[in-house]
Structure 1
């Protein structure tokens, strides 16, 4: 009987040792992967005020192409958002009202959704009755080019095509009106 107990304890110790070895190997692999990824990652250039806004072409919900460079000479209120983002939903009606007020003065709004389905985005746009172009960055290439992290983020592009300001977080209607005034062509 004593021999069986010793054997069971020995088996438990062996199983524990194997498990610890497996866990250690997984941790070492994860750390190695992280170090490799960091060392070989492309350098992402952080955009700053004054930089030329990276050009892009995206398609809106009606199938129309929107290329940033086509808006040169106008101010562009470039808003990155998601349907699940509560602050995004709160600021959309105010953005729409200010778009109506500023669009005849040469200020355009492009709402760039981050990789959601056409159905989700169309439902959201219909719910809020949005009148400005809504495009979907399906591959997240524009999000990556602009190094967008939190949503919402708005990038103000002046009529010369340069970044005037980068705003992260929710904006009030008063903020939006002031920002659109900043990028209005002379």
Structure 2
């Protein structure tokens, strides 16, 4: 009986040790692969918008991309959305694309928010949190400016004013 318990405990410890080792390995590997560096190419991703259309970041090569991470519960995000929408309508014909990435909320909540603010740009939902992790988003809102060649030229943490949004879009206009 004692021998069986010893064998069982040993097996449990081996399995737990393997699980911890695997988790650590995956986290280190992920950190090595996905780092956002100013002046380097932005990590590519594919996310689906509220209409079911897939958007791949690399498909916007040739355009400046205003990549904004936000949440419906985030008051600063709520404040800046009308500014982003107005400037998007001003700059979309000049080669600037806004991609607003919601950080994993329900489609219902995101659609309601987008309808309330009459947002015209693609609203993408990062339900898995993979894109948020790749871009190391914390806290919200967070905005990346990506030039026509797909390189990150600026990262801004926190709320944006309308003048800032305008200036940022000017910077990424091809």
TM-score range, shorter chain: 0.7 to 0.9
Out of 52, 73, 77, the position equivalent to 1:88 is 77
RMSD of the alignment, in Å?
Answer: 1.7
Structure 2 partner of 1:98: 87
Give the paired residue count: 152
* Equivalence for 1:148: 137
Consecutive unaligned residues of structure 1, counting only runs of 5 or more, are: 1-34
What is the aligned partner in structure 1 of residue 171 from structure 2? 182
Aligned-pair distance for 1:37?
9.4
- TM normalised by structure 1 equals 0.77
**TM norm structure 2:** 0.83
Q: Following the alignment from structure 1 to structure 2, what is the Cα–Cα distance between the partners of residues 155 and 139?
A: 20
- 1:109 and 2:95 matched: no
Residue matched to 1:123:
112
User: Which segments of 5 or more consecutive residues in structure 2 lack a partner in the other structure?
Assistant: 1-19
Q: Hey, what does 2:64 align to over in structure 1?
A: 75
> C-alpha displacement at 1:140, in angstroms?
0.5
**Hey, what's the Cα distance between the residues in 2 that align with 1:53 and 1:47?**
6
SS of the residue 1:110 aligns to: strand
Residue range with higher mean Cα deviation, 101-110 or 47-56:
47-56
